[in-house]
Structure 1
């Protein structure tokens, strides 16, 4: 059974878990594709993770998450199918997060070494496509299922603890 958050508190923790997984994977992917692994210090890599997580989590919590939920609930007819809801939510979350996080990536690239020979818009779309192609399957096939599994385990453990203390 796929576990999804049902309260605001659960949604907060679920979003945090999802952001940690996606930021680790996407930051690593971008460092590798830009040839930066081994060329920047461990401190710089950790800074990228921390900044990426903070920005992603705030976006997920206040901008992309609420917008994606509104879109999903307005376009899905079969709200009883958890699978359809999960896939639709993942799709719209990825579109929103890649849209904004690609801006962050563009700003980071520009700050680090400028935009070598590409226009700002061309660079943005290049980053967006590269990130979207990686992020969607990552979310649907790896990070999403792992986070839902772990979230379900944590939720079940918490329910068992509350039952045993009664």
Structure 2
């Protein structure tokens, strides 16, 4: 887990990017629209929106909820699972809205499209975060601590 602001920003960026590219590919495949052009064409706007929601909307409430859950706070793995799960729920809530709006606009069928998108995204995003993206990004963060660029300086 990040230990300072630089590490937090770095970790958030790599997790956000990894989840956006993975979930974008997943959704394009679901809709039969996968191509590298479509994937990379939506990557920058998707990342910007996801980063905004992550940092400014989801992160603080998700962490508050996770720390309020009846989990063993002494066990790092329990807290990682709690925080990651709460983050995924919040991000899927907002990013499914974003995806439906970008694909269909705000029509009379928005809620039915949204419910379908939310459930399909949650089924993919939760295990992706807990089993693949989270562990890989924590490993990258751990390896990056070997370098001096993530360490806080007093200057």
TM-score between both structures, scaled by the size of structure 2: 0.89
Which 5+ residue runs of structure 2 have no aligned equivalent?
A: none
Larger radius of gyration: 1
Q: Deviations over 1:3-42 (max 9, x none)?
A: x10222211111001001101100000111111024xx72
Which residue in 1 is equivalent to 2:53? 59
Shift of 1:76: 4.1
Check the 8 A contact 1:76/1:85 in 2, yes or no: no
Which residue in 1 is equivalent to 2:89? 95
**After the TM superposition, which parts of structure 1 deviate over 4 Å for at least 4 consecutive aligned residues?**
none
Which 5+ residue runs of structure 1 have no aligned equivalent?
A: none
- Root-mean-square deviation (CA, aligned residues, Å) is 2.1
Q: Deviations over 1:135-156 (max 9, x none)?
A: 0000011101000001100013
Which residue in 1 is equivalent to 2:33? 36
Check the 8 A contact 2:71/2:78 in 1, yes or no: no
Which residue in 2 is equivalent to 1:26? 23
Which residue in 2 is equivalent to 1:74? 68
Task: Count residues in correspondence.
Answer: 151
Which residue in 2 is equivalent to 1:120? 110
